[in-house]
Amino acid sequence: MGTLIEPFTVATSDAGVTKDWCVNDMKGDETLQDLTPEDVARIYWMLEKVELLYTYTVQGITRSRYLILASKKKPLERIAWPPAFKTEGADGAIDYFSSLEVGNVARDKETGKLAMPLIVEEADEYENFVVTTERLEGYFLAAQKPFQAFDRKLTLYLWVYNKQWTGSIQNAELTEDYFEVKQ
C-alpha cells in the first residue's frame, strides 16, 4: 500500500501530464507503448516507486539485482517538472542504470496512443554482455525473459558480444506502488 495523500485536482494536457509539458512524436523504440491518457496520468501523478528484481547468469556467473526507482516528489510537486524515477550504480566491474522517464511521453501520430521509456541497462566494463529492455545491434541474443510492467508485457534481454558466450535470465519482475488518496 502506498503513502496516503490528500485529494487533489490538477489541470492536465490531453496526454495526462502537466498542462504545459511537451509531448514528443513517437520514435517507436519506447518501451511502454499503447498507453492511454489515463494510464499516463496515473503513472505521472500517482506513481510513488517501482521495484525491479532480476537474476541472470552469464558465462557461469549468476547475479541478482534489486532496484528501487522512487521519486521524492509528491503529486502536487510534479506540476512544474516531472518526477525522476531512476537509479544507477556499480557492482565491481558491472555498471547498472534504470529509469522510468515519465516526462518523456510520446504520441503515435496515427493512433494517438501514448508511450514512455522504461530503460534497464546493465553491462560489464567492456560491454561483453548487456542486460537491457532494448534490442541491440551488433550483439547476439543469449536469453530473454518476459515480465509484466504497468499491465503490459515487456522483455528483459541478455545480449553478448561473443556468440560463444552463454547466458540465461532466471527471473524478471517489476512491482509498482502508487500514492493512495485519503477517503
What residue segments make up the domains of the chain, in order of their start? 12-175
Residue type, position 162, single letter: N
| pLDDT at position 126 | 94
DSSP 73-99: --GGGGSSS---EEEEEEETTEEEEEE
pTM for the full predicted model: 0.92
| pLDDT at position 106 | 95
Calculate the CA 163 to chain-centre distance.
28
What is the number of alpha carbons within 13 Å of residue 16 lying toward its C-beta? Answer: 23
Q: What is the pLDDT along the chain (183 residues), one digit of tens a residue?
A: 789 999 999 989 999 998 888 898 988 888 999 999 999 999 999 999 999 999 999 999 999 999 999 999 999 999 989 999 999 999 999 999 999 999 999 999 999 999 999 999 999 999 999 999 999 999 999 999 999 999 999 999 999 999 999 999 999 999 999 999 999
179, containing H or E segment: none
| pLDDT at position 40 | 96
| pLDDT at position 20 | 82
Residues 6+ apart with CB under 8 A from 80: 18
| Contact present, 160 and 131 (Cβ < 8 Å) | no
Pairing of strands 24-25, 106-107: parallel
Which residue in this structure is represented by grid cell 534490442? 135
Beta bridge partners of 68: 51
| pLDDT at position 21 | 86
| pLDDT at position 29 | 81
Pairing of strands 24-25, 167-178: unpaired
Residue of 160, 158, 183 lying closest to 172 (CA atoms)? 158
